[in-house]
Amino acid sequence: MNRALNALQSTKSTRNLGLKHRNTFGFEVSAELAYDITVPEQIPEVMSEIAKQKLAWRVLGGGSNVILPKILAGATLLMNIAGQEIISADDKNTYLSVGGGVNWHEFVAWTLEHDLPGLENLALIPGTVGAAPIQNIGAYGVEVAEYIDSIIVFDVKDQAFVTLTKDACCFAYRDSYFKQNPQRFIVTQVVFKIPKSWKPRIHYADLAKQFFENANPSPEDIFLAVCKIRTHKLPDPKVIGNAGSFFQNPIIPIEQFEALLKKHVDLVSYPDLPGKRKLAAGWLIDQCGFKGQRLGSVGVYENQALVLVNHGGGTAQDVLSLAQSIQDKVRAEFGVSLVIEPNLF
């Protein structure tokens, strides 16, 4: 009770808060009204005030998967709920409770420090724990949904905290119940279920190359290898603004894939659901000649065509204009539609 009382008393709003440091594209952004959320108990009162004033609102974590306009109208909730702990264990699994504002990569490192392997393939993905299930982040053959037990959220519609089971989250490729129902849920805590049995997952090409002579790497080996690969392929947002992979890998019917393969024998793809095939969006973009191209202050990263970058002074509109050109060219060349991965606020 004291914790909740103190939280409410300390909840304060800041007007016209600069958020350049809070979005990895490094856009010059200003929030009309920002709330610093450090404990879940702050949320009901803040949302009640927002409703009374009929303000537009959104939650902002690490700003790694968003495209922000110059002015964020209304209210912005800055998700800064910290904390991670082991809450229980049984013969097969260990359960962890993690605050929505915890840095994702730091959390992955923490699990290895506590001998809880499983998430190492997801190392160095920018953003927060609270944002991870919304997008169902994934990399190198692993999706975060595989390790989620439940999620504690504030249901804006019902004005109450609820716990959603993994099944209720409707996870799919880069998708979830949260993404399908925007602005209904605010993720405050994620409960992870980490299996005690562990096997290395290194079947993806980049990882397989790293461990060509080592079929049984340790979790720490995989963690370091993933960091090495991502550092080489993806630019550091502190050096050059970006939101990581900008487009989802498109999933197409097997008939369309086979027709494309006849025209493009080196087409890069991965198996997906029965009757479907996942294409490498970066390869499609590269084949259209965009890798390394620059359009004013924005461009396509020279080492990975899937990444759009802000060289400095770029805006959301600049990036979206470039993205539209890429989508148009890929559709014309391959008959495939690319879907933007970051959220547009």
Which residue is catalytic, options 64, 150, 176, 245?
245
pLDDT of 328 reads 98
Which residue is catalytic, options 174, 184, 201, 331?
174
CATH assignment of 241-344? 3.90.78.10
Q: Catalytic: 3?
A: no
Q: Catalytic: 146?
A: no
pLDDT of 233 reads 85
Closest to 232 measured CA to CA, from 135, 340, 124, 128: 124
Closest to 189 measured CA to CA, from 148, 135, 152: 152
Phi, psi of 38 (to 5 degrees): -110, -20
The CATH architecture one would assign to domain 2-79 is 2-Layer Sandwich (3.30)
- pLDDT averaged over 10-residue windows placed end to end, the chain, 345 residues: 46 92 96 98 97 97 95 98 98 98 98 98 96 95 97 97 98 94 97 98 92 94 96 91 95 97 95 91 98 97 96 97 98 98 90
pLDDT of 142 reads 96
Q: Catalytic: 245?
A: yes
Phi, psi of 160 (to 5 degrees): -155, 155
pLDDT tens digits along 273-328: 899 999 999 999 999 999 999 999 999 999 999 999 999 999 999 999 999 999 99
Domain residue spans in the chain?
2-79, 84-195, 241-344
Tell me if domain 2-79 and domain 84-195 are identical in fold. Answer: no
pLDDT tens digits along 195-238: 999 999 999 888 999 999 998 999 999 999 999 999 988 999 99
**Quick one: fold of 84-195?**
3.30.465
pLDDT of 10 reads 53
Say what the pTM is. 0.89
E-strand stretches of the chain: 13-18, 30-37, 57-60, 66-67, 71-79, 84-89, 93-99, 138-139, 142-143, 148-155, 160-165, 185-195, 241-245, 251-253, 269-271, 276-279, 294-295, 298-300, 307-310, 343-344
Which residue is catalytic, options 45, 49, 146, 341?
341
